[in-house]
């Protein structure tokens, strides 16, 4: 079954996997899908139970906040960034 993921976090997609080998940062709806993706990623990064030389790291976690531009008109006002809490 395909995993349910997005390329941007939200309150519904807050479990993430970062694969440094290919630069993918993916956000999953639930921990089970994220952990399945992690196991698949880990399988690609190991050979004879050792890290491949090309593997830097794999990172998993839960998003607790997101920084977004807060103003509606950045061309006039410049960007004003703020922390937007993800409902967890």
**CA of residue 20 relative to chain centroid, distance:** 11
Determine how β-strand 58-62 pairs with β-strand 15-19. antiparallel
Please give the model's pTM, rounded to 2 decimal places: 0.71
pLDDT in tens, the chain (88 residues): 567 899 988 889 999 999 877 788 999 999 999 999 999 888 887 888 787 777 778 899 999 887 766 666 656 666 666 655 555 4
- Cα 13-18-23 angle, rounded to 5 deg: 120
């Amino acid at each position: 079954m395909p995993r349910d993921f997005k390329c941007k976090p939200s309150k519904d997609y807050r479990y993430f996997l970062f694969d440094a080998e290919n630069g993918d940062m993916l956000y999953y709806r639930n921990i089970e899908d994220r952990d399945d993706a992690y196991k698949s990623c880990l399988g690609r990064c190991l050979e004879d139970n050792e890290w491949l030389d090309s593997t830097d790291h794999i990172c998993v976690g839960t998003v607790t906040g997101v920084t977004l531009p807060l103003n509606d008109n950045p061309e006039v006002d410049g960007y004003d960034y703020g922390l937007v809490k993800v409902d967890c």
